[in-house]
Structure 1
Amino acid sequence: MSLAIVNICIDCADPHALGTFWGEVLGIPLASDDAPGDDEVGLDLPSGQALLFLRVPEGKVVKNRLHLCLAPPEVDPTRVGASRDAEVERVLALGATVVDDLRQPDGKGWVVLADPAGNEFCVIRPAEEQAG
């Protein structure tokens, strides 16, 4: 017997605001019954799991022990790393900040970002680029 991941939970001060940010990042709307002030809001992921945002009283004070790595779904055939870079710019415009930029001149590497609550995540190259 084995276990299956049902939810990935992110603690935060404002679940609705952070859920809205991540909904924009992932292109997934919050549930219609999620509202500002809720103690828990969620995004239903296409894989069947949910990304849940839970209100907690304390702020984030140290580096995450777990983080998400996100990749664009498609490759820009004109330039290695272009789709990753475009997604980094899009997510920065939504309110993320750069924690560490590990992109290399040859297009390899990734960018470590933080969401508005300070939770780190990475934007990496699409799988097709990594395999090539």
Structure 2
Amino acid sequence: MTSTISHTTIDCHNAYELSQWWKPVLGYVDVEGDPNEPGDGECMIRDPETGHQLLFIEVPDQELPAKRIHFDLRPRERDRDEEVEWLLTYGATQVADHRGKYGPGSGWVIFADPEGNQFCILRSEGELAAAAAP
């Protein structure tokens, strides 16, 4: 049972400006149907060839954390909550729980690996598809 990297997240002070700066450096583009706009607190860009995505997300802290880049993982074979339970038994340390942040079924859980590197567990592709179904 594994997870896949959904995207790489970069904590920052200005998500729009930083995403715009990186687009020409990497040859990335806005996600189709989700253009980045000035003032957006979260801006995703993607590689048009590989599909790899970078998410720039604003954090309120004046001082940015030393570990500003982390993986956002999407479970392959379990749903988010099952993956959370498995990670707890595997030895990951739960840092914060943001399940339900944007309503029922939304959100993520932040974990740290044995050396303190943080990563997030998102909802699975199946959960996303079920939420989007009419």
- Please tell me the TM-score bracket, short chain as reference: 0.3 to 0.5
Which has more strand, going by share of residues? 2
